[in-house]
Structure 1
Amino acid sequence: MARIGMLTPSSNTILEPVTGKLLSGIAGVTAHFSRIRVTQIALDDASSAQFAAEPMLGAAGLLADARVDAIVWNGTSGSWLGLDRDRELCRLLREATGMPATTSALAMTAAYEALGAKRIALVTPYTADVNARIAEGYGRAGLTVPLRLASGLSANEAFANVPAEAIAGMIARAAETPGVDAVAVVCTNFGAAGLAADAERRYGVPVLDSVSVTAWQALRLLGIDGRPLAAEWGRIFEIV
């Protein structure tokens, strides 16, 4: 039996049900959630302050009461605030709880490395300036982003209301971009997880949804084989 503790943005309504459904495919693995207040995604100081370490450490302490086996920040803020910030958060989480830790942004980076993906088509519900900041960070990591698609939203709760048809259209456009190695859906409150495997079969390009990839990396942290999930949730689960 394994328990995965997940730190969740307060206004997120996607990742908990999706993660629960996804992990139901692995016997004995459960996810447990603790929330921190996150309501807006933007590049201003007020938005950045939502992702301070202190509330995350408090929420992680509550998860530790449940004797979870790993702590995961199931949010993509490191994609625009910088991976070093997420690495420092993981260090603090390990120090405070004694448990392995990761984040959604670090999980996506691990997925790119595992797939050998260098050219990433980006799909998000965010505004164009947030997407540009993500692409800048990817550039510093040696990746190129030939296409950036954004829904133009900043209210985190609203991301979950983007219709599946619209998300599928964005994924299709991204997957059809010449020369891309992977499509990255960067947001854990965007309804793309259930679309990824079908899109991969249709377009022949890996589609990396943040919720699914975060679960993939959490399973890897605990040495759990996620391959039974690949057919339904995407080819990234074939990599253990």
Structure 2
Amino acid sequence: MTTRIGLITPSSNTVLEPETYRLLHDVPAITAHFARFTVLKIGTGADALGQFSLEPQLGAAALLADCKPDVIAWCGTSGGWMGIGQDEALCRAITERTGALATSSTLAQIAAFRALGVSRYALVTPYLPDIQSKIVETFGTAGFDCVAEEHLGDPGNFSFSTYGEEQIAGMIRRVAQAKPQAISIFCTNFNGVRIAPILEAELGIPVIDSTTLTLWHALVLAGVDPGCVPGQGALFHHKKSA
């Protein structure tokens, strides 16, 4: 029996699709299916925030529903700066419209912190300072303390994918000096997918990439053991319910 995962992606994202396909390449009976809606920049202005109104995302979810996915995930981190309630409302609306279980990258991050027993984390992103501050505030209200952070000050969104793995790895190594319980690479177009498990082994700290993280939570909601995805770190092998 095949498990189908529906993934909603920002239109300018170039990381999510190829990396998700790569993660699932050797995993039988799990398939990923994508729909896009327009996201061209990240900021706190009305035009940037307006990209994340519910209807475009629900339209993408409705198209995904045609392939009868078990779960639909919003593979974007906008809930980090727009508030957890934004993503909770989106997921409720997706389920009401499609009948599929739903999650988002932000809700998945919270589920991961809770599953791993994390209260102190470090944050790595390509975002602008005001976006970074709002993410720290959002996770703070959920009970998670950011002990170190790095960001690049880029309004993106396409440009996030142009940063190399070595630059991202350097950011991760620097925030690791604060001894967090986990490190979050919080952006699905900031390519930490391949380096996260390598750096986790090097640093002895869970390194959680948003693209991989969202797939993890979708698999959990679908009732699939995430450990079936090879080469991943502690989160994928943790047995506590998320």
| TM tier relative to shorter chain | over 0.9
Q: Helix, strand or coil: the match of 1:120?
A: strand
Residue of structure 2 in register with 1:22 after alignment: 23
CA distance in 2, matches of 1:233, 1:12: 22
Contact kept? 1:72, 1:218, Cα under 8 Å: yes
1:125 equivalent to 2:122? Answer no
Give the share of equivalent positions with the same residue, in percent: 44
Residue of structure 2 in register with 1:235 after alignment: 234
Residue of structure 2 in register with 1:102 after alignment: 103
The two structures have a TM-score, normalised by structure 1, of 0.97
Residue of structure 2 in register with 1:56 after alignment: 57
1:170 equivalent to 2:171? Answer yes
Q: Helix, strand or coil: the match of 1:32?
A: strand
1:195, CA displacement in angstroms? Answer: 0.5
Residue of structure 1 in register with 2:143 after alignment: 142
Q: CA RMSD in A?
A: 1.0
1:40 equivalent to 2:41? Answer yes
CA distance in 1, matches of 2:56, 2:45: 19
Contact kept? 1:193, 1:233, Cα under 8 Å: no
Letter in 2 for 1:143: F
Q: Helix, strand or coil: the match of 2:39?
A: coil
CA distance in 2, matches of 1:13, 1:217: 21
CA distance in 1, matches of 2:7, 2:176: 29
Question: 84-93 or 136-145: which moved more?
Answer: 136-145
Runs of 4+ aligned residues of structure 1 deviating over 2 Å after TM superposition are none
1:24, CA displacement in angstroms? Answer: 2.2
Residue of structure 2 in register with 1:85 after alignment: 86
CA distance in 2, matches of 1:77, 1:227: 27
CA distance in 2, matches of 1:80, 1:135: 8
CA distance in 1, matches of 2:140, 2:217: 22
Contact kept? 1:24, 1:30, Cα under 8 Å: no
1:36, CA displacement in angstroms? Answer: 0.5
CA distance in 2, matches of 1:86, 1:24: 29
1:143, CA displacement in angstroms? Answer: 1.3
Contact kept? 1:37, 1:50, Cα under 8 Å: yes
Residue of structure 1 in register with 2:198 after alignment: 198
Contact kept? 1:80, 1:130, Cα under 8 Å: yes
CA distance in 2, matches of 1:90, 1:167: 30
For residues 89-140 of structure 1, the C-alpha deviation after alignment (integer angstroms, 9 at most, x for no partner) is: 0000000001100000000000000011111100001011111111111111
Q: Which runs of 5+ in 2 are unaligned?
A: none
CA distance in 2, matches of 1:215, 1:234: 13
Contact kept? 1:194, 1:233, Cα under 8 Å: no
The two structures have a TM-score, normalised by structure 2, of 0.96
1:142, CA displacement in angstroms? Answer: 1.4
Q: Which runs of 5+ in 1 are unaligned?
A: none
